[in-house]
Chains A and B, each alone.
Chain A
Amino acid sequence: MLSKLIKIIFIGLCAWTNTAPVYADNPFILLQSTTSTRNSGLYDYLLPIYTNLSGVDIRVVAVGTGQALRNARNGDADVLLVHAKSAEEKFVADGFGVERFDLMYNDFVIIGPGSDPAGVRGLELATAALETIAHAGATFVSRGDDSGTHKKELELWGGTTVEVDSVSGTWYLETGSGMGATLNIATGKDAYTLTDRATWISFQNKQSFEILVEGDPLLFNQYGVIMVNPERHTHVKADLGQAFIDWLLSPAGQNAIATFRVDGQQLFYPNAKR
């Protein structure tokens, strides 16, 4: 009687503290991901399709690419979906990932107030636009958080004569925050910033802000998918993770990515090479 009671209490405690409220029974994998794919609503569209198909839940932890890579390095993920190709290749080369696959792409854009005080609207080269902003002394807001977007932004500044480190805190402001928080700061300070197009289109606090510079090939934004190496971290759910990656790269998964729309606009373009 007493042991039965203890058992009931124990099960109750487990149920109270540990289980997920909805997906209690399904097997799941942990996906460390960039924020743009979550904030744009891609996962809300894509993942239920896969879950219905496979019975496997995908638990998404959406953080900056730098943090996602670090968490995955620690073994706190089965699959990684980020957008910083060279950092991803290093992750695989260091033995933390099995293999990196191109998954989809979109592009980065420079946004700013519609009044465009620095006069960058329509410039074709992103580096020229940044140079113009710097010379005008107009405020530019940087992620400053080692995310994929931040890495791209620094790469672009590298192609200019501006040393952003030396002007940080003047007209160049590093927020150290996610894309959404940074966009809120940009609109609040009438500043320019670099953002991926998906986050911008789905962002709801645009005010008078517009896309001012786009279309430079340098603004290409490639997303990659990697399985965390089960030889490095033995608990990685290799079978479930590989099945998910295989689906993403298959015609069915690629087609699902292509059909995702926000306000009638396509946000991600599949380009898996298989």
Chain B
Amino acid sequence: MSDFTTAFTSAIGLIAGFDTSLIEIIGLSLRVSLSAVIIGTIIGLPLGAAIAVGRFPGRELLIIVVNAFMGLPPVVVGLIVYLQLSKSGPFGWLQILYTPTAMIIAQMILVTPIVIALTRQFIEDANADYDEALRSLGVHGWAKLVTLITEVRYSLVTVVLAAFGRAIAEVGAVIIVGGNINHVTRVMTTSITLETSKGNLGLALALGVVLMLLALAVNAVAATVRRFAPKAAYA
């Protein structure tokens, strides 16, 4: 247990010391993962909503596939994105391998199925509850979809947080497509991997504590928004 106490103390020390390289790494982690989640949400939310209310052939199959894709292994996604962005791959001309952009793309691929699948489930459940009422009020089409989304908006915050949790915690994809280049593509998880490989287990664990605190801070912000948003809306 003393290992953890030491790690916690040195984590606090790292944060309090405003170590510039640590700030840089935290900044890049947030930038990459938040970008991936924002893009993933922009793509995934409408798709999830469409699948929830739409009726088309192959819908059940599509739902199974999307749900399964929530379990995409990050290292496989990293490898696939690497092969696409490699100079020998179809998108090599973009020259974005080993940049934060490549990392955002990889994490976006990881989080989008989560956003689609969970959004679909929440909206479908709401649709089951309110379908009759909305029908009797003559609400259908876009208006109905907007009503349903509004109804589950707080659940959707949880969806986004789940996606963020996936993105900020993964290392398999970003280490392949980012390359863990110092000052360029090094993020929290790849730093932890690096320090572990150097045998600096204490520092690695301290960085892990910092990462947890970061996730905690993001979730606290989301919870605050969730708590105070309704009051503001109805004030």
Verify A76–B199 contact, CB threshold 8 A: no
Q: Which of A176-197 contact B (CB under 8 A)?
A: 178-181, 183-184
**Are A76 and B180 CB-contacts (below 8 A) given A18-B99, A59-B98?**
no
Verify A16–B24 contact, CB threshold 8 A: no
Q: Which residue of A lies closest to B183 (CB)?
A: A22
- Cα A261 to Cα B92 with chains together (Å): 39
Verify B87–A203 contact, CB threshold 8 A: no
Which residues of chain B have C-beta atoms less than 8 A from A22's C-beta? 24, 183-184
Whether B150 sits at the interface, judged by CB under 8 Å, is no
Verify A20–B88 contact, CB threshold 8 A: no
Whether A60 sits at the interface, judged by CB under 8 Å, is yes
Query: By the criterion of a CB under 8 Å from any partner CB, how many residues of chain A are at the interface?
Result: 33
Verify A204–B87 contact, CB threshold 8 A: no
Whether A86 sits at the interface, judged by CB under 8 Å, is no
Verify A179–B197 contact, CB threshold 8 A: yes
- Cα A205 to Cα B180 with chains together (Å): 22
Which residues of chain A have C-beta atoms less than 8 A from B184's C-beta? 20-23, 59
Whether B179 sits at the interface, judged by CB under 8 Å, is yes
Contact for B199 among A35, A44, A61, A183, CB less than 8 A:
A183
Verify A76–B86 contact, CB threshold 8 A: yes
- Closest chain-A Cβ to B202's Cβ sits at a distance in Å of 8
Whether A125 sits at the interface, judged by CB under 8 Å, is no
Which residues of chain A have C-beta atoms less than 8 A from B101's C-beta? 17-18
Which residues of chain B have C-beta atoms less than 8 A from A61's C-beta? 98, 179-181
Contact for B35 among A17, A179, A204, CB less than 8 A:
A17
Whether A74 sits at the interface, judged by CB under 8 Å, is yes
Which residues of chain A have C-beta atoms less than 8 A from B100's C-beta? 17-18, 20
Verify B95–A235 contact, CB threshold 8 A: yes
Q: Which residue of B lies closest to A75 (CB)?
A: B87
- Cα A21 to Cα B104 with chains together (Å): 15
Q: Which residue of B lies closest to A177 (CB)?
A: B197
Verify A180–B197 contact, CB threshold 8 A: yes
A interface footprint on B66-109 (CB within 8 Å = 1, 0 otherwise): 00000000000000000000111100100111111100100000
B interface footprint on A203-218 (CB within 8 Å = 1, 0 otherwise): 1111000000000000
Which residues of chain A have C-beta atoms less than 8 A from B231's C-beta? none
- Cα A62 to Cα B184 with chains together (Å): 13
- Closest chain-A Cβ to B87's Cβ sits at a distance in Å of 3
Q: Which of B111-136 contact A (CB under 8 A)?
A: none
Interface of B is mostly: loop
Q: Which of B195-212 contact A (CB under 8 A)?
A: 196-201
Verify B199–A180 contact, CB threshold 8 A: yes
Whether A202 sits at the interface, judged by CB under 8 Å, is yes
Q: Which residue of A lies closest to B21 (CB)?
A: A22
Q: Which of A149-176 contact B (CB under 8 A)?
A: none
**Are A181 and B98 CB-contacts (below 8 A) given A21-B24, A60-B181, A60-B182?**
no
Chain B interface residue number, banded? 20 to 34
- Cα A105 to Cα B200 with chains together (Å): 25
Whether A30 sits at the interface, judged by CB under 8 Å, is yes
- Which of B86, B95, B197 counts the most chain A CB atoms within 10 A? B197
- Cα A35 to Cα B190 with chains together (Å): 14
Verify B199–A62 contact, CB threshold 8 A: no
Verify B182–A18 contact, CB threshold 8 A: no
Verify A74–B197 contact, CB threshold 8 A: no
Which residues of chain B have C-beta atoms less than 8 A from A121's C-beta? none
**Are A16 and B196 CB-contacts (below 8 A) given A23-B184, A76-B87?**
no
B interface footprint on A38-80 (CB within 8 Å = 1, 0 otherwise): 0100001000000000000001111000000001011110000
Contact for B88 among A74, A178, A179, CB less than 8 A:
A74
Whether A85 sits at the interface, judged by CB under 8 Å, is no
Whether A100 sits at the interface, judged by CB under 8 Å, is no
29 contacts between A and B (CB under 8 A): A16-B35, A18-B96, A20-B100, A20-B183, A20-B184, A21-B183, A22-B24, A22-B184, A23-B183, A35-B197, A39-B194, A39-B198, A44-B182, A59-B184, A60-B181, A75-B87, A76-B86, A76-B87, A178-B197, A179-B197, A180-B197, A180-B199, A184-B196, A184-B197, A184-B199, A184-B201, A204-B200, A206-B199, A235-B95
The 10 closest A-B pairs by CB, nearest first: A180-B197, A75-B87, A205-B199, A61-B179, A204-B199, A74-B88, A203-B199, A22-B183, A20-B184, A74-B86
